Structure 1
Amino acid sequence: MRPYHQIPIIECGESLIKIPLELFAVESPHPYQKLGANYGEHSPYYLRQSVIENLIQAQNYLQLLHPHWYIQIFDAYRPVTVQQFMVDYSFGEALRERGLKEEELLPQQREEAWQAVYEIWAVPSLDMQTPPPHSTGAAVDITLVNDAGEIVNMGSPIDEMSERSHPEYYASSNQEYDANRQLLQNVMLKAGFQRNPREWWHFSFGDQMWAWLYNQSHPETTMTARYGRLTGSKLISS
């Protein structure tokens, strides 16, 4: 359980729709599909309608500050099956980084590897009360592309399982990386998003994490989540 799982979900029924990719920069080919993740009938480039509207607002704010810069979309909607695939893949990566083989793991080594995985990845829960953020269609992983078409250096890649992923990691050690992360956060917060405290790239609007973070900074309010886990096709619009 994460702290944000205490937030009630009151599903608003808003559709999951295709992101207008022509308005953004896009990670291509999609990084998880390239690894073999199966998204089923819909591509990973879907989000709830209001989330997309806010993402467009964020890009408009960005381009007021930096004309011809773009938000680059790395990942968006993610079925729980893909969440499970990436958790399993990342566990394998954690073992490779440590030079370990799963069949030879000591209990402590296994626990340490899983701790590294779950520092970044949400549990692929099928419980409707504890959905992974991306499985609600409310979360998006992003970075920035500058006017030369180059990915802006944030000091660490998306999904890295280390402390460098923490948003404030470079606050006192690298002004450039910290400023780039702050820029990304500022335009997203201005558009109504909240940032994952553990991941500089992860932003959400309307899910449990978003509501929990909003309540932390606005103690006089009691925000609930408006988006839960998507089930079936009734909320998905083509």
Structure 2
Amino acid sequence: MTVLLTDERVTGIPAIENGEPLVELFTRDVLTTGQQFARESVADRLAMADAFLPAGIRLHVVEALRPVDSQRQIWDTYRAEVARLHPGSSERDLDVLASRFVSPIDVAPHVAGAAVDLTLVGAHGPLDLGTPIDATPEQSSGACFFAATNISREARTNRALLADVLTAAGLVNYPTEWWHWSYGDRYWAYVEQRPTALYGPAYSMS
């Protein structure tokens, strides 16, 4: 069973901020949409993963560090949609359902600069990964889940390639979103069986 970000095994992991700086991803020659920032170790690991890819294929980061206000708006909007689709659900159940797609503020890896949303691109543009980035479970009939079976063989092969290079570089996937990978956050700590996360919210750094 998939462990979600609202699971106590994740939320119970302390985040001990190590003070690592944010860097712009272009300084590591990582392709991005616009200006994107992440923790230094995340950026270095993305560059490593990019170097592992076959010639002619690159990582492309669509979003990395996210302002807390944006995270809160995304959470509130999607949770309201989930509430509409699941009338009568408890507040806790709505939080769990919403966390399949959006992280609550207190454990959100994007606001810590620890996570990226990314895809693969080739000479002729984006490769087939099965769904657009940010396709919700409802929109995609669950095809956004990394291990989804309702995608093409090509998409499955491309997801496996994405996982191979990112896992080799030390990042972990949030399994309900094929595009979401992180390092140093609570979910990473859970998957890697670490006692603490490395980063707290980047917006609170002095």
Query: Which has the higher Rg, Structure 1 or Structure 2?
Result: 1
Residues 70-81 of structure 1 correspond to what in structure 2 (within 5 A)? 70-81=58-69
Amino acid at match of 1:160: A
For residue 50 of structure 1, report the CA deviation from its aligned partner.
1.1
TM-score, length-normalised on structure 1?
Answer: 0.72
Q: Contact 2:111 / 2:203 at 8 angstroms: preserved in 1?
A: no
Kindly tell me: are residues 185 and 74 of structure 1, through their superposed partners in 2, closer, same or farther at Cα, counting changes over 3 Å?
same
Kindly tell me: are residues 106 and 226 of structure 1, through their superposed partners in 2, closer, same or farther at Cα, counting changes over 3 Å?
closer
Per-residue CA deviation, residues 117-153 of structure 1 (Å, 9 max, x unaligned), is 332101123xxxxx311111111110000122x1111
Q: CA RMSD in A?
A: 2.8
For residue 109 of structure 1, report the CA deviation from its aligned partner.
11
The equivalent of 1:193 in structure 2 is 171
Q: Contact 1:81 / 1:124 at 8 angstroms: preserved in 2?
A: no
Kindly tell me: are residues 230 and 69 of structure 1, through their superposed partners in 2, closer, same or farther at Cα, counting changes over 3 Å?
same
Structure 1 residue runs without a partner (length 5+): 29-42, 99-104, 126-130, 216-221
Q: Once superposed, which parts of structure 1, at least 4 consecutive aligned residues long, lie more than 4 Å away?
A: 91-96, 108-116
Identity %: 29
What is the alpha-carbon distance in structure 2 between the residues aligned to residue 228 and residue 109 of structure 1? 29
What is the alpha-carbon distance in structure 1 between the residues aligned to residue 57 and residue 89 of structure 2? 45
Structure 2 residue runs without a partner (length 5+): 1-5
Q: Contact 1:25 / 1:145 at 8 angstroms: preserved in 2?
A: no
Residues 67-216 of structure 1 correspond to what in structure 2 (within 5 A)? 67-91=55-79, 106-108=87-89, 116-125=97-106, 131-148=107-124, 150-162=125-137, 163-170=142-149, 174-215=152-193
TM-score, length-normalised on structure 2?
Answer: 0.82
What is the alpha-carbon distance in structure 2 between the residues aligned to residue 68 and residue 223 of structure 1? 39
Amino acid at match of 1:137: G
Answer with 172-181 or 76-85: which moved more. Answer: 172-181
